[in-house]
C-alpha cells in the first residue's frame, strides 16, 4: 500500500486569476479550433462535446448543437434504421455531419458492435469521430479493442477512455487513440467514488494527462464534473483539448425523454435505470455505479449553449486569450475554498 500525498485539485478548488489584457470585447474571442489529428484527419469546430448518454447524446441535440460548431456524442442505443433515418433528415436540413460522433460499444459481443459501426459509418458518410468508452479504461482487453478499431477505421478520429493517469493516457495514444477521454468519478450522475472508492480530482487529472498526451502529439478530452460554464473554462485553462458535458446539457427539450410529473429524468449509463432498460437489470456480480435524477425542464438547449460559450469567452477576455488554445497558456489558477454555487441543476 502507498499513499500519494501531493495536492490534487478539482474545479471547485481553484479560480482563474484575471490578468491585464489587450482584448477590447468578448466578440474578439474565437472559440473555434482547427485540429489535425495523428490519424491524418482534421476538424474545425468548438471543442465542446455533448456526452454520449441517453438524455444528452440524442439526434435532436446534435441537430441543435452542430450549427454552433459543437460536437454531439450520439449514444449507442439507436438502431441502424434510426441512424439512417436521422442521417437523411440531417442531410436535407443542412446539419453539419462532421459534428457527430459515433459511439462503438464494448459489450460481450464486440463482433456485432464492429459490424454495426461499419454498416452505419459506411452509409452515413462524413462522420469523422468514433468514441470507444468504458467505465474502466485500464484493462488490457480495452487497449486491444482500441488497436482493433484503429485497424478497421484508419482515418477516423478515435476518442478512447476513460482513464485518469499519465501512463494510461500514453498507452491509449500508442494503441491508436487520437484523443484520450479522461475522468473517472466526477460525473453528475456517477457514483463510482461512493460505490468503489475510485476516482481522481478532475483538474489535476487534466493537467497531468494533457501533459502526457501533448508530449506524444495526442489530445485529451476532459469528461465529467462541469457543473457551470466556469468549470468548462477551467477545464480548457488546465489544458483540455475537448470538454465533454453531460448534466449541463440534460433536462432540455432535446433530451428525447418522457416527462414524469413535470420533470425530465436523467440517469447514469451504469445506473439501475439504464441497466434495467438495456441489460435486463443489474447483474448479480456487480453494483450500479450511477444514479437517476429528476430535473426541472430547462427549455431549449440554445440558452444553455449561450451561457457556456459566453462563459468561456468571458474567461478568455479576463486573461487576455484570443482563443481556447491560448486560454491554457494565459491561465494561472489560484487555490480557493470549495464554495462555488451550482446554478445548473447538476452537482
Ligand atoms: P457530467 O457532465 O454529467 O458531470 O458527466 C458526464 C460523464 O459522466 C459522462 O460523459 C460519463 O463519462 C460519466 N457517466 C455517465 N453515466 C455514468 C454512470 O452511470 N457511472 C459513472 N461512473 N459515470 C457515468
Q: How do residues 29-38 score in pLDDT, each as one tens digit? A: 999 999 999 9
Residues 6+ apart with CB under 8 A from 230: 11, 16, 311, 315, 340
Q: Is 190 a catalytic residue?
A: yes
Cα of 183 vs centre of ligand 1, distance in Å, is 9
Of 148, 202, 138, the closest CA to residue 175 belongs to 148
| C-alpha to C-alpha distance for 251 and 185, rounded to whole angstroms | 21
Residues 6+ apart with CB under 8 A from 155: 39, 40, 41
Chain segment 258-299, per-residue pLDDT in tens: 999 999 999 999 999 999 999 888 887 778 899 999 999 999
| C-alpha to C-alpha distance for 242 and 306, rounded to whole angstroms | 18
Q: Which of 12, 124, 131, 190 is catalytic?
A: 190
| pLDDT at position 24 | 83
| pLDDT at position 347 | 52
What is residue 260's DSSP assignment?
B
Place of cell 448479480: 284
With a 6 Å cutoff on the Cβ, whether 57 touches ligand 1 is no
With a 6 Å cutoff on the Cβ, whether 188 touches ligand 1 is yes
| C-alpha to C-alpha distance for 304 and 299, rounded to whole angstroms | 9
| pLDDT at position 262 | 97
Read off the C-alpha cell for 238: 488546465
Low-confidence ranges of the chain (pLDDT < 70): 338-347
What is residue 70's DSSP assignment?
E
| C-alpha to C-alpha distance for 183 and 190, rounded to whole angstroms | 11
For ligand 1, atom 8: residue with the closest CA: 187
Cα of 92 vs centre of ligand 1, distance in Å, is 32
| pLDDT at position 107 | 79
| Domains of the chain with bracketed CATH | 11-343 (3.20.20.70)
Cα of 182 vs centre of ligand 1, distance in Å, is 11
For ligand 1, atom 21: residue with the closest CA: 190
Burial tier of 326 (Cβ tally within 10 Å: 0-12, 13-18, 19+): middle
| pLDDT at position 339 | 55
Residues 6+ apart with CB under 8 A from 178: 37, 38, 39, 157, 158, 159, 218, 219
Read off the C-alpha cell for 37: 489529428
Read off the C-alpha cell for 100: 457527430
| pLDDT at position 106 | 86
Name the H helices within 253-347: 272-278, 301-319, 324-330
Chain segment 202-233, per-residue pLDDT in tens: 999 999 999 999 999 999 999 999 999 999 99
With a 6 Å cutoff on the Cβ, whether 13 touches ligand 1 is no
Of 11, 53, 4, 6, the closest CA to residue 234 belongs to 11
Amino acid at each position: 500500500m502507498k499513499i500519494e500525498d501531493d495536492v490534487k485539485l478539482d474545479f471547485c478548488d481553484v479560480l482563474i486569476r484575471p490578468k491585464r489584457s489587450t482584448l477590447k470585447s468578448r466578440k474578439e474571442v474565437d472559440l473555434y479550433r482547427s485540429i489535425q489529428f495523428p490519424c491524418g484527419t482534421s476538424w474545425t469546430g468548438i471543442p465542446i462535446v455533448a456526452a454520449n448518454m441517453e438524455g444528452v447524446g440524442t439526434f435532436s441535440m446534435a441537430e441543435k448543437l452542430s450549427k454552433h460548431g459543437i460536437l454531439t456524442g450520439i449514444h449507442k442505443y439507436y438502431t441502424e434504421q434510426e441512424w439512417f433515418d436521422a442521417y437523411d433528415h440531417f442531410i436535407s436540413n443542412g446539419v453539419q455531419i462532421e459534428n457527430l460522433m459515433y459511439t462503438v460499444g464494448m459489450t460481450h459481443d464486440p463482433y456485432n458492435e464492429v459490424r454495426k459501426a461499419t454498416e452505419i459509418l459506411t452509409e452515413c458518410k462524413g462522420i469523422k469521430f468514433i468514441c470507444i468508452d468504458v467505465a474502466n479504461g485500464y484493462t488490457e482487453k480495452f487497449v486491444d479493442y482500441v488497436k482493433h478499431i484503429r485497424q478497421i477505421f484508419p482515418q477516423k478520429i478515435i476518442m478512447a477512455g476513460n482513464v485518469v493517469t499519465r501512463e494510461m493516457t500514453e498507452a491509449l495514444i500508442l494503441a491508436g487513440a487520437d484523443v484520450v477521454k479522461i475522468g473517472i468519478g466526477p460525473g453528475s450522475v456517477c457514483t463510482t467514488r461512493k460505490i468503489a472508492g475510485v476516482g481522481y480530482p478532475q483538474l489535476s487529472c487534466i493537467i497531468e494527462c494533457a501533459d502526457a498526451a501533448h508530449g506524444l502529439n495526442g489530445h485529451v478530452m476532459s469528461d465529467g464534473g462541469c457543473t457551470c460554464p466556469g468549470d468548462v473554462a477551467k477545464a480548457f485553462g488546465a489544458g483540455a483539448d475537448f470538454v465533454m458535458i453531460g448534466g449541463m446539457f440534460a433536462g432540455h427539450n432535446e433530451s428525447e425523454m418522457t416527462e414524469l410529473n413535470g420533470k425530465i429524468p436523467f440517469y447514469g449509463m451504469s445506473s439501475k435505470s439504464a441497466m434495467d432498460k438495456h441489460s435486463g437489470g443489474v447483474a448479480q456480480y456487480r453494483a450500479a455505479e450511477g444514479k437517476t435524477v429528476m430535473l426541472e425542464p430547462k427549455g431549449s438547449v440554445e440558452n444553455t449553449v449561450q451561457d457556456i460559450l459566453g462563459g468561456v469567452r468571458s474567461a478568455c477576455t479576463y486573461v487576455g486569450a484570443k482563443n481556447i488554445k491560448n486560454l491554457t497558456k494565459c491561465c494561472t489558477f489560484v487555490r480557493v475554498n470549495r464554495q462555488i454555487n451550482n446554478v445548473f441543476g447538476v452537482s
